[in-house]
Amino acid sequence: MIGKIFPKSSGSFKKRIRYIFGCTKHDHQINQILTIDYNCISSDPLPALLAGSEDAILEMVREFDQVEILRRMSIDSDRPIKPVFHAMMSLRPGESLTPAQWLTAVRKYMADLGFTETCKYVAVMHRDKDHEHVHIVANRIALDEDFRMVKDSDERAASMESVSEIEDMFGLKKAPRPSATWGIALTHAEVKASNRDGELPHKHRLIAKIAGAIEHTKAIHGDMFDLVVALRKQRVYIHLTLSEQGQPKGISYEYDGKHISGRQLKRSRLTWQKLITQEGISYDSETLSELQVEIAQRDQDEHQRSERLRYFYLRFQAGARRIPIKVKSANWRLDRDTRLILEALEALLGIDLTFKGIGKPSKYYIEFTPGQPLVLPARKQQEYEFDPQPA
């Protein structure tokens, strides 16, 4: 089941009530409408409507509208209000509830959102589509001495929780939670498409896959290469747009043959800059060519591909003397290899060094590849006081 709350409005209830009772539909569609519940003094408008008269509907509209008129006469306030509430609860194709079950669902839903018996409401079921759904129109003004308004600050969360409990109550298939769409709300059209197709829209399935890959990459403290691999396992591929300086400035995601930019998917999290600055996916500009090779891979079997070299920047210090090192490695263990490098430098230089952590140094650094000799550029030997045979 999917719960949808439409934008609230001010003014008369006429448009909403006429709509849910099918006044804009053909006769054969009106036959597929059923009144589930209402708490009005006026009678059910449906029999008169089927007989060709809207008099009963207009009477119900006047009853709804009268509440705001009474409120204006009793409360001296010019604050604009939006009393017209309209919601829909929709089942998936193939699911159905009896009128009695719908009645229970509607009353629970209204109570969970804060409506009481003093709030006028009417619920109508439509069966003219491939999925049953119920429309609820209610007055947010309570017909009591205070004419209080039903609060709507937490209604979205209350709606989702109520729908979830109704699903459990009647054994219905669970609707996707916000975590499955990474906080991206479904539009009305997407709700309808989701009901029709029985699955999340393409955009939201893509976001869910990207979100999973990002969370995995962050959990292993990975970089952009790790993210590309994690996305590829989900059959999601990325494409980069480069700036005039030849560095990435934009990113798009390909899934099931469709391309969507990160800005269109979720501008606050899925653009290239947000991946780096906000999500913490590290990227080294010097590895762009290697990254593009990784991006071009479409092979799902990671074991059949050669491992790439990673770059790690270390800094060792003895007093004012600093020794930055750029480490190249495919499978590098920080704790083990840092200790080995430290011991090697201390033996070669005859000084006691302190490891100061990871951080990209200046352009003057020593390059080291595990398993190969440490090479110090000739022009830097004097600066580091390098002695291949220390006393």
Here the tokens at position 361 are 């140094």
Question: What DSSP assignment string belongs to 117-143?
Answer: TTS-EEEEEE-SSSS-EEEEEEESB-S
Partners of 239 in beta bridges: 252
Radius of gyration of the chain (CA): 32
What's the average model confidence in pLDDT over 214-227?
Answer: 88
* pLDDT > 70? residue 102: yes
Q: Residue 134's pLDDT band (boundaries 50, 70, 90)?
A: very high
* pLDDT > 80? residue 189: no
Distance CA 232, CA 223 (A): 14
Partners of 310 in beta bridges: 329
Distance CA 165, CA 323 (A): 62
Question: What DSSP assignment string belongs to 44-88?
Answer: PSHHHHHTT--HHHHHHHHHHHHHHHHHHHH---------EEEEE
What's the average model confidence in pLDDT over 181-197?
Answer: 54
What's the average model confidence in pLDDT over 205-231?
Answer: 88
* pLDDT > 70? residue 303: no
Q: Which amino acid type is present at position 384? A: Y
The mean of the pLDDT values for the chain is 80
Most distant CA atoms of the chain, gap in Å = 110
pLDDT of 207: 86
CA proximity to 369, closest of 322, 337, 324, 339: 337
Phi, psi (rounded to 5 degrees) for 15: -60, -45
E strands present in the chain: 2-5, 33-38, 84-90, 121-126, 133-139, 236-242, 248-255, 258-261, 310-318, 321-329, 354-358, 366-368
For 17-35, how does the pLDDT look when each residue is reduced to its tens digit (9 = 90+)? 999 998 876 554 667 899 9
pLDDT of 302: 46
**pTM summary value:** 0.51
For 117-131, how does the pLDDT look when each residue is reduced to its tens digit (9 = 90+)? 999 999 999 987 778
| CB contact at 8 A, 42 and 59 | yes
Q: 176 versus 255: which is more confidently predicted? A: 255
Question: What does the angle CA 114 – CA 118 – CA 123 come to, to the nearest 5 degrees?
Answer: 70
What's the average model confidence in pLDDT over 172-199?
Answer: 57
Distance CA 104, CA 212 (A): 37
Here the tokens at position 162 are 């109520």
Least confident of 15-24, 114-123, 167-176, 214-223: 167-176
C-alpha distances in Å from residue 87, one per residue of 8, 134, 156: 10, 8, 11
* pLDDT > 80? residue 366: no
For the chain, percent of residues with pLDDT exceeding 70: 72
Distance CA 99, CA 107 (A): 12
pLDDT of 208: 83
Distance CA 226, CA 305 (A): 14
Distance CA 288, CA 248 (A): 8
* pLDDT > 90? residue 186: no
